[in-house]
Amino acid sequence: MLLNRFPLVAPSMLSADFGNLQRDIGMVNDSDADWFHIDVMDGVFVPNISFGFPVLKPIQKYAKKPLDVHLMIVDPDRYLERFREYGAEVISVHYEVCDHLHRTIQAIKKLGAMAGVVLNPHSPVSLLEEIITDADLVMLMSVNPGFGGQSFIESTLGKITLLKELIARKKTDVLIEVDGGVTLENAPRLVKAGANVLVAGYTIFGSADPAKTISSLKSL
C-alpha cells in the first residue's frame, strides 16, 4: 500500500551504504518504513550526480515497499515513463524546472503513479496556487538540494503551515512531504505543523540502530 498511518517514513537511500546496498534495502523492507526515497540528480539542476537506472534496477528488484522517486533533473518529462518502468510509484518533479507543470503532472498520473511537486527552500508556497488541486503530493525541501547531511532550514516550518492552509482553502487532499535535515529532534515539530511524509537519510542510516530510528519517527 502507498498510504499507511501518518506520518509516512521514507528512508533516503542516498545515505545508504552502497557497498552493502542489498543489506540496507532488506533493513528497510523489514522495518516500519513506508517508502524508499530515491534521489535522482543530474549534476545540472543540482551540483551532484546520484542514482541512475543501473542503481535503480537492483533497488526495484529487492525493495518490497513503494519507491518514492525525487527527480532533481532538468527536462524530467523525457524520463517519466522509464522511471515508472523501474518501479516508481511516486514521482516528484521540481516546480523550478517544469515549463508546463500541469502537463507533467498529468503525464505522471497517466502512468499510474502519484504525482508530486517539489519546492526548493527559496520558492514560496504561493507558486502552487494554480497547481495544488492537480498534485497528489507537495515536497518541501528543507535544505538546498544536492547533498545529504545538511542542516535543516527552520523557515520550512512556516512553509508547512502555509501549505496546509492552501490545501484546506482549495478543498483538496494533498500530502505534505519534507525532505532534508529531518532528525528525531525536529520531526515532532514537522508533524505537528502538518507534514505527512518524513524523508530522512543520515538520521536513519547514520544511527546505531536504523530500524529503531525508523520506528521512532513512525511513532510520532
Model confidence band, residue 54 (pLDDT cutoffs 50, 70, 90)? confident
Residue 21 lies in a domain: yes
pTM, full prediction: 0.94
Q: With contact defined as beta carbons under 8 Å apart, do 147 and 115 qualify?
A: no
Residue 147 lies in a domain: yes
Residue 155 lies in a domain: yes
Residue 23: give the domain boundaries.
8-218
Question: Which residues are CB-neighbours of 118 under 8 A, at least 6 positions away?
Answer: 70, 72, 92, 93, 94, 95, 138, 139, 140, 141, 179
Q: How many domains does the chain have?
A: 1
What CATH number does residue 152 fall under? 3.20.20.70
Residue 2 lies in a domain: no
* pLDDT tens profile 62-109: 999 999 999 999 899 999 999 999 999 999 999 999 999 999 999 999
* pLDDT tens profile 158-212: 999 999 999 999 999 999 999 999 999 999 999 999 999 999 999 999 999 999 9
Among 218, 209, 166, 172, CA closest to 191: 218
Residue 3 lies in a domain: no
Residue 123 lies in a domain: yes
Q: What are phi and psi of 31, to 5 degrees?
A: -95, -175
Residue 30 lies in a domain: yes
Share of the chain above pLDDT 70, in %: 93
- The residues that are catalytic are 39, 179
